[in-house]
Structure 1
Amino acid sequence: MPLLTAAVVIVGILCVIDLLLSFGIIRRLREQNETLRKVQQQAGGGIDADIALPAGSTVAMFTATAVSGAEVSNLDGTGFLIGFFTPNCEPCKERMPEFIEYATRFDGRVIAVADVDPGAADDMVGRLGEVAEVVLERDGGPVHQALGAKGYPALSLVDGSGTVVASGWEISALPVPANR
């Protein structure tokens, strides 16, 4: 019986040590993630700066049809805010509310490109449709190519001359909009 008690105590101690090491690893990963995020912000997007055309680039001409039936293009010479989202992307789900809030304060045209089949993500399209003209387009489509979108979420602010003012994968990459 004393041998069994000793074995149970040793296994219990090993489990506690394993648990403490696991908590330490999780804490370390969170610290590294936060450090990476700060480095990316300081570098103006850093590693993911090329998720869309960088600031100063010229957007190619594009035309698409929105879910509402309206034609969406950059041929009219007005600036716009554009976001690229897909429903199977966790960062998209995290940043979509930030994009929606930013769009409500943005004084200008807002376009959202959703990489979905019609009806596949009605919730996403509906929420984005409250603040933007929503275009359904697969990765690599004409709007993706015009803005150089290479991942999700991709956000860009374009001025009236078709020049990218700012872009990135987080709202913090975009300038603070004037209050409406």
Structure 2
Amino acid sequence: MAILTAAVVLVGILCVIDLLLSFGIIRRLREQNEALQLVQQQQTAGLDDDIALPAGSAVGAFAATTVGGTELTNVDIIGSPLLIGFFSPNCEPCKERMPQFIEYATRFNGRVIAVASGSVEETTDMVARLGEVGDVLVEPNEEAPVHKAFGAKGYPAMCLVGDDGVVQASGWEMAALPVPAAL
């Protein structure tokens, strides 16, 4: 009978320990869930910010030289619709959206400029691909003149600019731009 009593007490102690561990796990899961919700809210808040100049904004002044050696200024973009995209070789969404940008650019009736952000060595492949559809600029970072003129604060960023130099649409996804047939 003593063995049976000891076994019941041992099982009872094991159940209490298991219950305490379960409460600890539940508490940790709740903490992790709250932390995850906070991160998601911060990311969503960041997406609400414009990644480039919003529609209705005038493009700022800039001067740059394309990879092909052509001088380009904000005055040069007036008179024809412009599609401009900002990409970085270290950006996974850029790798996903660059083919969409290239396809959009082939159907676009206007000037196309692509800005590759990084060193010449890092952007070689990107420059070659984007060079098939338009002029390409290489700028080191978001503090460079063309980035500032278009208010590009992240990657990828795309802008559709009217022939008057005013942004018509911008965003980090191609869905932010109107369908090319409607242009």
CA contact (8 A) 2:117 2:123 kept: no
Distance in 1 (alpha carbons) for counterparts of 2:87 and 2:61: 20
1:86 aligns with 2:88: yes
Instruction: Decide which of 168, 175, 180 is 1:177's aligned counterpart.
Output: 180
- Gap change, CA 1:117 and 1:54, over 3 Å in 2: same
1:110 aligns with 2:112: yes
Q: Which has the larger radius of gyration?
A: 2
- Gap change, CA 1:129 and 1:179, over 3 Å in 2: farther
Structure 2 counterparts to residues 32-71 of structure 1, below 5 A: 47-71=47-71
- Gap change, CA 1:176 and 1:145, over 3 Å in 2: same
- Gap change, CA 1:144 and 1:104, over 3 Å in 2: same
Distance in 2 (alpha carbons) for counterparts of 1:111 and 1:177: 16
Distance in 2 (alpha carbons) for counterparts of 1:56 and 1:131: 26
Distance in 1 (alpha carbons) for counterparts of 2:55 and 2:66: 26
Greater Cα offset, 63-72 or 92-101: 63-72
- 1:51 aligned counterpart, secondary structure: coil
Distance in 2 (alpha carbons) for counterparts of 1:104 and 1:71: 23
Greater Cα offset, 131-140 or 165-174: 131-140
Query: Which aligned runs of 4 or more in structure 1 are off by greater than 6 angstroms?
Result: none
Corresponding residue pairs, total = 138
The C-alpha deviation readout for 1:51-80, integer Å capped at 9, x for no partner, is 001001111121210001111222032331
- 1:81 aligned counterpart, secondary structure: strand
> Which residue in 1 is equivalent to 2:143?
140
Distance in 1 (alpha carbons) for counterparts of 2:138 and 2:70: 12
Structure 2 counterparts to residues 8-47 of structure 1, below 5 A: 47=47
Distance in 1 (alpha carbons) for counterparts of 2:163 and 2:181: 17
Letter in 2 for 1:131: V
The TM-score normalised by the length of structure 1 is: 0.71
Letter in 2 for 1:89: C
Percentage of pairs with the same residue: 63
Distance in 2 (alpha carbons) for counterparts of 1:104 and 1:97: 11
Name structure 2 gaps, 5 residues minimum. Answer: 1-39
Distance in 2 (alpha carbons) for counterparts of 1:91 and 1:48: 17
Letter in 1 for 2:145: P
Name structure 1 gaps, 5 residues minimum. Answer: 1-32, 34-39, 41-45
CA contact (8 A) 1:86 1:152 kept: yes
> Which residue in 2 is equivalent to 1:163?
166
Q: What displacement does 1:49 show?
A: 4.6
Letter in 2 for 1:106: F
> Which residue in 2 is equivalent to 1:123?
125
CA RMSD of superposed structures (Å): 2.1
Q: What displacement does 1:162 show?
A: 1.2
